[in-house]
Amino acid sequence: MKIVKTIDEVRSIVKGWRAEGLTVGLVPTMGYLHEGHASLIDASHRDNDRTVVSDFVNPMQFGPTEDLASYPRDLKRDAALAEAHGADIIFNPEPSEMYHEGFSSFVDMTVLTQELCGLSRPVHFRGVCTVVSKLFNIVKPDRAYFGKKDAQQLAVIRHMADDLNMDLEIIGCPIIREEDGLAKSSRNTYLSDEERKAALILSKSIFAGMDMVKHGCTTAAEITGAMKKLIDSEPLAKIDYVKLVDVATMQQIEKLDRPALCAIAVYIGKTRLIDNFFTEDVK
């Protein structure tokens, strides 16, 4: 496996693969890889002849008060994990390689980004859409892999690819959790021991919400109310949002009369964590 730093080199390697008639999968990440990322690399390795993992902490998707500077980075460790799961290239550009001087073109989206994380992170999805479009143009993959952990991001990317006629398949992969239920995330490394214990309240409330749906509850306020009560019982937790939205529009709904996403964002101390479930996945 090769670590590649420039766009030209990625293009030239992918061109060689294409000349041999090989298919290509792309797994976009911000690095500090864990088993959640590994599951996407596994899926790409299974579906495609070659897999490119991008490893880039994208400055454009961070707000001015967010954790860009402190975001964890470890390229050596990432390379070992990606290789073990079948990646052929790690693309790890410097910000200046992705955003040259005078960079001034953006990909933005309206409706789907107005709820949930879009409310508390106003510049986030413009940064995500722009960088993912760039990665699609650089790698030109047959398929790209995204985790359901970032459910709104997955919906936004699907919508963008459809709106802009991007010629690839977007594959959504299940959330990978720690043994005790906490969704795996590079940001879990910010948590102290005490906060790590408190963070379990996210998955507990997600499982409680799933249980209510499973038992036939269709009133959004009842489900989110019970989940909020549970989260509020944890002194270190501060709710950003707990919402049920239509999966197609990401707009809030009152009744579970269509496929819905239940999404939460909660601060544990200074660390903002997210989790969710799709009602369609509740059996």
Return the active site residues. 37
Backbone torsions φ then ψ of 217, nearest 5 degrees: -70, 130
Residue with tokens 């490119």: 52
Q: Which is nearer to ligand AMP, 40 or 266 (CB)?
A: 40
Question: Does the protein bind ligand AMP through residue 130 (CB under 6 A)?
Answer: no
Q: Does 184 bind ligand AMP (CB under 6 A)?
A: yes
Q: Which stretch binds ligand AMP (CB under 6 A): 3-11, 69-77, 171-179, 263-271?
A: 171-179
How many residues line the site for ligand AMP (CB under 6 A)?
17
Q: Which stretch binds ligand AMP (CB under 6 A): 11-19, 43-51, 92-100, 176-184?
A: 176-184
Name residues contacting ligand AMP, limited to 21-40 (CB under 6 A).
29-30, 36-37, 39-40
Handedness of CA 213, 119, 71, 127 (dihedral sign): positive
Give me the least distance between CB of 20 and ligand AMP, in Å please.
28
Within 13 Å, how many C-alpha atoms sit on residue 27's CB side?
31
Closer residue to ligand AMP in complex, CB, 187/228 = 187
Could you list the residues that contact ligand AMP (CB under 6 A)?
29-30, 36-37, 39-40, 146-147, 149-150, 173, 175-176, 183-186
